[in-house]
Structure 1
Amino acid sequence: MDKQRDFVLRTIEERGVKFVRLWFTDVLGTLKSVAIAPAEVEGAFGEGIGFDGSAIEGLTRSYESDLLAFPDPSTFQILPWRGEVDPTARMFCDITTPDGQPASAEPRNVLKRTLAKAADAGFTFYTHPEIEFYLLKSSRFGAEGPEPVDRAGYFDNVPGGTAHDFRRRAVRMLEDLGISVEYSHHEVGPGQNEIDLRYADALTMADNIMTFRTVVKEVAIEQGVHATFMPKPLAGEPGSGMHTHMSLFEGDVNAFYEEGAQYQLSRTGRQFIAGLLKHANEIALVTNQFVNSYKRLWGGDEAPSYITWGHNNRSALIRVPLYKPGKGGSARVEYRAIDSAANPYLAYSLMLAAGLKGIEEEYELGPEAEDNVWALSSAERRALGYQSLPSSMYDAIKLMEDSELVAETLGEQIFSYVLANKRREYDAYRSQVTQYELKSTLDVI
């Protein structure tokens, strides 16, 4: 840690950094930032930066509002979009109480606690997200809704197009920030794009996702367009997911791999999937945290609606990707419900906790879904025992309320805050009179 701190202080001096932004998130995953002068960085490492936690969504209660932000030197990066004028860097922070205890309601600490539990069981948790988002001509919209920057489709090459230039610029910025990109391409929807980040341990990846969203927003502003991670911004078009590939390692050995097993998937891997399936409904309010999230899940296209697993089956909630011969380290499972608006710290905490529960309790994995689940009739799905994911935020709230797993993983404060916040959001949503209602009933009743 001392070497990392020395590196940060030396780099600040050598690069002429003028501002250092200290980053953390609130419970809903909104990025928070406070800028300090370079002269204050050494003191921040040792003593932290004090702030009023009660002013941050869900972070603490008013009667225990004083909190400290301690920058994590391992996350230091120069922000490339600031250029050479007033060079600016950033570090993610660990949030503590004045007596040095980790703040119980800080999302990054929640993930650290869950990762520590996995470590006690001998596991390191790795994730690899495929992040989708839309590029729109503007954040403003008329009666027809938002206007995408193009009408291109899946894998389309649009020479000179906004999306092509956008992805090139965004990927370059991410690489400058030390975030490795595996793929980037146009997605199915008009103006929809996907950038896949190369796998990393879950804490690093959650930090990377928060940085990724900022990079995408900054590049969009630079190019005169608007980027959104809203799960379903366009009616009749695909929503934006954040399909996440996951694996557990025991040292250098992939715990999900077993040579000769079906799909080369180990018993540990099967139990992990069983845990995710059993608790999928309970964690949905965090993996899909907005009213709009459920319009993605139930809006058709490739969003999963039913709690199933399958080998290379894109209609399933959990997919076991095609095994790469000779690459046991690549064995993994893909969770397809999580959307691009989720708080990655909390969502990854719950996904890991669900999988670990399956391993601890030795859950048995049921039969895989071999057919296209979307194409089955309701009666066929019932006969096969396929449960559905929540169809609305209201359903998700009810399912999370009674979850011991979620309460234990998030802690009492975040658990209560999320439920209260989402009840308010749903009450506000259902009180609206929509354009659909006016168009369909105003003239005929």
Structure 2
Amino acid sequence: MDRQQEHVLRVVEERGIRFLRLWFTDVQGSLKSVGVAPAELENAFTEGIGFDGSAIEGFARVVEADTLAMPDASTFQVLPWPNGAEAGIARMFCDITLPDGTPSSADPRQVLRRALAATEDEGYTLYTHPEIEFFLFEPQLDEWGRPVPIDDAGYFDHLAHGDGHDFRRAAIDMLETMGIAVEFSHHEGAPGQNEIDLRYADALTTADNIMTFRTVVKEVALSQGCFASFMPKPMQEHAGSGMHTHFSLFDGDHNAFHEPGAEYQLSITGRRFVAGVLRHAREISAVTNQWVNSYKRLWGGGEAPAHVCWGHNNRSAMVRIPMYKPTKGQSSRIEVRTLDSACNPYLAFALVLAAGMRGITEEYELPPEAEDDVWALTDRERRILGIEPLPSSLTEALHVMEESELVAETLGEHVFDQLLRNKREEWRAYRGQVTQYELQNYLRRL
């Protein structure tokens, strides 16, 4: 037993922890939890907690159902939401293994671990910084079955004692109590829409933090009489919610994306990373934007990126190079704007990283910068500039992903096949729906 595990056992005893929740995700990024009594924790560290993997979406076939959840002691935290600390409830993330100790090929956390290990073999460490958007709605839908935002505020609006303001303060207090540092928070552009930005951390820690973040936000919302949604596009007339994520590679203490005197201070390594993300953008869309509803966000305007291009101060671009701070060379980074806040962060980060690293190792050439508002260009103008569209639907994204060697290699055969199967079923179910649009436009006319 290592020192971190011994420390957790000591804290559990000293703080009177009575319930331990072991967390992990399925291939879609849904949070799963199994409870363990403190008396069983030492055994859980050494032997894991067994469960039926065939009951978890995409984990295992019935004939190979035995699976173990191995707690990661470095992720131990007491849960602070209502009555959590008082009731003595804590959580840890788990790595999923087979009974012989082999990492499970179906575990999204292991997928990211593999991608990070391959990157470390090249001498780099990946750091990420997500800007997470979400909506707060009233508990009840309106008479037409539509969600009702808790306020009518807009971008950066400050409402004295407003619901969103109070909510963000409570959510941030809870996150920071759990050791998750927050950098910024504000009201976003749509009614009821908020954004909370997490501070830079290594990619695996960030992915764990995002899963915790989504749980915290939903818990705080329930405690305040509303509900939170990370649905990419819940309201037709307003912009959707994304998770613009900043990426940077470090070689030891050196930011590999920084080069003084280069254009935008972006190094050749950074330029090749961006080129890789762009070249493989269509292939990874079914993971970074995995829901039917995701493509209504991407193609619904509101500064959402729908085309494969990059820019410096261009918020219509898929990849943006943020403003460089002359006194902070370590802050050089790229911002990928496609990701949904409802994506599986383990798989999404693994694929963005794999695409960027492919650009570095194969020395991809960065295409010309998109200087215009890409949305304002005609299709012909975009074609002349060599700007491709992202997939416009989940089914199109799946067709592209199916042919991708990079995605199959990064996710592994099991996760790759399970995602394709699961998402094709989602598309078939969606395709059979009769929508309100069809009823309004065709029912009486035809």
Structure 1 stretches lacking a partner, 5+ long: none
Residue 58 in 1 paired to residue 55 in 2? no
Alpha-carbon shift at residue 140 of structure 1 (Å): 3.8
TM-score (norm 1): 0.99
Distance 2:56 2:10 in 1: 32
Residue 75 in 1 paired to residue 67 in 2? no
CA deviations on 1:131-158 (whole Å, 9 max, x unpaired) are: 0000000264531611000000000001
Distance 2:257 2:313 in 1: 16
Residue 18 in 1 paired to residue 18 in 2? yes
- Aligned AA for 2:35? A
Tell me the residue number matched to 1:45.
Answer: 45
C-alpha contact (below 8 Å) 2:133/2:193 kept by paired residues: yes
Alpha-carbon shift at residue 83 of structure 1 (Å): 3.8
Distance 1:33 1:399 in 2: 33
C-alpha contact (below 8 Å) 1:151/1:190 kept by paired residues: yes
Tell me the residue number matched to 1:5.
Answer: 5
TM-score (norm 2): 0.99
- Aligned AA for 1:318? V
Tell me the residue number matched to 2:246.
Answer: 245
Distance 1:397 1:6 in 2: 45
Tell me the residue number matched to 2:354.
Answer: 353
Distance 2:318 2:84 in 1: 42
Residue 333 in 1 paired to residue 313 in 2? no
C-alpha contact (below 8 Å) 2:72/2:94 kept by paired residues: yes
Residue 121 in 1 paired to residue 122 in 2? yes
Q: Is the deviation greater in 81-90 or in 354-363?
A: 81-90
Q: Is the deviation greater in 180-189 or in 54-63?
A: 54-63
- Please identify runs of 4+ aligned residues in structure 1 that moved more than 4 A: none
- Aligned AA for 1:125? L
Tell me the residue number matched to 1:411.
Answer: 412
Q: Does the residue aligned with 1:20 lie in a helix, a strand or coil?
A: strand
| Counterparts in 2 of 1:102 and 1:83: CA distance versus 1, 3 Å | closer
Q: Is the deviation greater in 200-209 or in 9-18?
A: 9-18
C-alpha contact (below 8 Å) 2:76/2:91 kept by paired residues: yes
Residue 204 in 1 paired to residue 205 in 2? yes
| Counterparts in 2 of 1:333 and 1:84: CA distance versus 1, 3 Å | closer
Q: Does the residue aligned with 1:277 lie in a helix, a strand or coil?
A: helix
Q: Does the residue aligned with 2:388 lie in a helix, a strand or coil?
A: coil
Distance 2:143 2:271 in 1: 48
Q: Does the residue aligned with 1:212 lie in a helix, a strand or coil?
A: helix
Distance 1:311 1:292 in 2: 28
| Counterparts in 2 of 1:399 and 1:211: CA distance versus 1, 3 Å | same
- Aligned AA for 1:47? E
C-alpha contact (below 8 Å) 1:149/1:191 kept by paired residues: yes
C-alpha contact (below 8 Å) 1:139/1:226 kept by paired residues: no
Tell me the residue number matched to 2:395.
Answer: 394
How many residues are matched? 445
Structure 2 stretches lacking a partner, 5+ long: none
- Aligned AA for 1:11? V
- Aligned AA for 2:92? M
CA deviations on 1:234-256 (whole Å, 9 max, x unpaired) are: 11101000000000000000000
1:239-278 map, 5 Å? 239-278=240-279
Distance 1:147 1:243 in 2: 25
1:269-348 map, 5 Å? 269-348=270-349
Alpha-carbon shift at residue 161 of structure 1 (Å): 1.2
Distance 1:33 1:224 in 2: 24
- Aligned AA for 1:56? I
Distance 2:62 2:312 in 1: 49
C-alpha contact (below 8 Å) 2:158/2:165 kept by paired residues: yes
CA deviations on 1:336-363 (whole Å, 9 max, x unpaired) are: 0011110000000000000000001100
Q: Does the residue aligned with 1:80 lie in a helix, a strand or coil?
A: coil
Distance 1:59 1:346 in 2: 14
Distance 1:84 1:373 in 2: 49
1:73-222 map, 5 Å? 73-81=73-81, 82-138=83-139, 140-143=141-144, 145-222=146-223
- Aligned AA for 1:10? R
Distance 2:423 2:85 in 1: 42
1:356-375 map, 5 Å? 356-375=357-376
| Counterparts in 2 of 1:139 and 1:270: CA distance versus 1, 3 Å | farther
C-alpha contact (below 8 Å) 2:19/2:90 kept by paired residues: yes
